[in-house]
Every structure is written in C-alpha cells, then in structure tokens.
Amino acid sequence: MTDSDKVFAGSIPGLYDRYLGPLLFEPYAQDIAQRLADVKEGRLLEIAAGTGIVTRALDRALPPKVAITATDLNQAMLDHAMTQLRSARVRWQQADALALPFKDGEFDVAVCQFGVMFFPDKRKAFQEALRVLKPRGRFLFNVWDSLEENEVSLTVTDAVAGCFPENPPQFLRRAPHGYHDVAAIRRELEAAGFGAIKVETLPKLSRASSPRDPAIGFCQGSPLRNEIEARDPKRVTEVTEIATQAVAARFGNGPISCKLQAIVVEARK
C-alpha cells in the first residue's frame, strides 16, 4: 500500500460510482444484501461505504426497523454517496476503521464491501469491528480474489503497465487485489477474537455497456489515476484510450461480459 492508494478525491468518486459501480460492485452488493435477509431489526454498521453502493442495496432490501450507519475514511466519497441516497434510516459519518467512533457493543451487524484490503492494519480493524458488535454479532465482508481471477482488472493493469514499462503502475495488483490469502484472513480474524468463520469464493459474470467503461473507471475513477498522473499528468487521456483498446481486443467492441471473483467472509463475535 502507498499513500496514493487511499486517495479518492476530486472527480474520482463520481467516475468510480458511474463506471465501476455497475461493473464491479453492484453484483456483490446484491449478494451482501441477500445474505442479510434474515436481519429484521437492530443497528447495522457499514465500514468503508465508499460511494454508497452497498448502502443503497441494503436500504432497498432491509426492513425499516434496521438502522444503518454508513462510514468511510474519505469524506469525498461520503459526500458523493449522500447525493445518491436520501433515506431517513441511513446516517452518514466519516470514520477510520482502525479507530471507530462508537461505543462497545453498539451494533448487531457490521458490513464491509471491498474495503478491508485498504486497511493498513487488518487485525486492528477486525478488533474494532469486534468491539462495536453486540455478543453474537455478525461481521460480513468481501475482498477481491487475485488479479488473475478478475479478467477486466488484469487487462487494464497490463495495458497501463505497458505505457510505463520502466515503472509500471500496480495499484490494482497491490491494493484491491492484494489481500486474498484465505488462511491469512482466517488467522487475523481469529487473532482479533472472531469465531464461527465462514469463507466462500464467489465468481460472478458482470457486464459493461462498452470497453470504455472499465477503462475510464480504472484509469480516471480510481487511485490508479494517481499513479498515472505521478508518472505523466498529460497522459491520462492517452492511457485511458490504450486501456480501452486492450479491453476491446479482449472482450469485443460492443457490450462486454467478464468474469469477476471475490472472497466472501462471515464471522461472529
């Protein structure tokens, strides 16, 4: 992880939500909402809510008696999320996953979609999730499997790397796809105090309206943009076009379909 891996600012939140949301995050947001179908009341904490893709899915799926607190370290992401959802039972709050600003045992459920990989101290984040959960509270999260198991992400990574062969950007490999060792995840959850750990590898087939969508999403709507700009700020548009061509060569010029693969983890206090 580098400092730039955690910078979601400027135009990134809006582009992230528009281009990567439907392709990468909505399929797994629906999965999380379905896994929580038995939650009928109580308090739910979302950690690393980002632009609110899971928040919106939970708001649609869960009964009105479930109160949702959606948090993220990046205020810019929350600011965008709040423009996408107006719900009386959702509270938005800036929060660091390593120092959650909540009392012990406040929540019945904690959820985190594709955020754990960015935490600089996973065990500390798990300990904080455990602390704010009630006895027998549930912690549900997912992480991306390896880059090689996620076709479009790998295609864009290789295309962008080819633009800077002497210093290839590796944000996607290093950060989003850098935490998929199931044995290590289990060990850190157990060390934090969690039990009844269940792990599932979950492939999905996702779609985008064109090869340009993932290229814009990754090259301009994620911290990969920060890496491109650090090498040459004038090349963002050019690199996006090269990534678009690579995605088109791999998946076709029209609407595309690609394999995603994530790891879904559930644990109990």
Confidence at 251, pLDDT banded by 50, 70, 90: very high
Rounded Cα–Cα distance for residues 49 and 23 (Å): 17
Confidence (pLDDT) at 5: 44
Phi, psi of 9 (to 5 degrees): -140, 180
Buried b (16+ CB within 10 A) or exposed e, 8-18: beeebbebbbe
* Token pair listed for 223: 């911290």
Separation between Cα atoms, residue 34 and residue 37, nearest integer Å: 5
Q: Alpha-carbon distance 45 to 205, whole Å?
A: 28
pLDDT score, position 37: 95
Does this model's pTM top 0.85? My answer is yes
- Whether residue 2 is predicted with pLDDT greater than 80 in this model: the reply is no
Q: Where are the domains of the chain?
A: 3-147+171-205+256-268
State whether residue 186 is helix, strand or coil.
helix
What's residue 154's pLDDT?
98
**Cα 1 to Cα 61, 141, 170, 178, 232, distances in angstroms:** 34, 20, 10, 9, 21
Return the pLDDT at 81: 95
Q: What is the pLDDT of residues 190-236, one digit of tens each?
A: 999 999 999 999 999 999 999 999 999 999 999 999 999 999 999 99
Query: Is-contact 267 135, C-beta < 8 A?
Result: no
Whether the pLDDT of residue 18 is over 90: the answer is yes
Cα 137 from Cα 142, distance rounded (Å): 17
Fold assignment, 3-147+171-205+256-268: Rossmann fold (3.40.50)
Q: Is the pLDDT of residue 111 over 80?
A: yes
